[in-house]
Amino acid sequence: MPAAPAYRRLSVEERRSQLLHAALTLFAHRAPEDVSLDDVAEAAGVSRPLVYRYFPGGKQQLYEAALRSAAEELQRCFDEPPNGPLLPRLARALDRYLTFVDEHDAGFSALLQGGSVVETSRTTAIVDGVRRAAAEHILSHLEVTDPGLRLRMTVRMWITAVEAASLIWLDEDKQPPVEELRDWLVDQFVAVLSVTADRDPQTAALTQKLTADS
- Using DSSP's 3-state secondary structure scheme, residue 151 falls into helix
Whether the CB-CB separation of 102 and 25 falls below 8 Å is answered with no
The burial of 159, by beta-carbon neighbours within 10 Å (0-12 exposed, 13-18 middle, 19 or more buried), is given as: middle
Q: Which stretch binds its own copies (CB under 8 A): 18-26, 98-106, 122-130, 137-145?
A: 122-130
Residues whose CB falls within 8 Å of the CB of residue 97, separated by 6 or more in sequence, listed in order: 74, 77, 78, 162, 166
Return the number of the residue (4 or 133) whose C-beta is nearest its own copies.
133
Binding residues for its own copies, total number by CB under 8 A: 40
Is residue 201 a contact residue for its own copies (CB under 8 A)? Answer: no
Q: Any contact of residue 177 with its own copies (CB under 8 A)?
A: no
Contact pattern from residue 152 through residue 171 relative to its own copies, giving x for each residue in contact according to CB under 8 A and a dash for the rest: xx--xxxxxx-xxx--xx--
Q: Is 34 in the site for its own copies (CB under 8 A)?
A: no
Q: How many helices and strands, by DSSP H and E, does the chain display?
A: 10, 0
Closest Cα to residue 160, out of 119, 194, 132, 195? 132
> Which of residues 188, 202, 204, 207 is near its own copies by CB under 8 A?
188
Instruction: Please report, as residue ranges, which positions from 79 to 118 form the binding site for its own copies (by CB under 8 A).
Output: 113-116
179 is a contact residue toward its own copies (CB under 8 A): no
Q: Give CA–CA dist 132/204, Å, rounded.
A: 23
Binding flag, residue 149, its own copies (CB under 8 A): yes
In the complex, the residues that contact its own copies under the rule CB under 8 A are 113-116, 119-125, 149-150, 152-153, 156-161, 163-165, 168-169, 172, 175-176, 180, 184, 187-188, 191-192, 194-196, 198-199
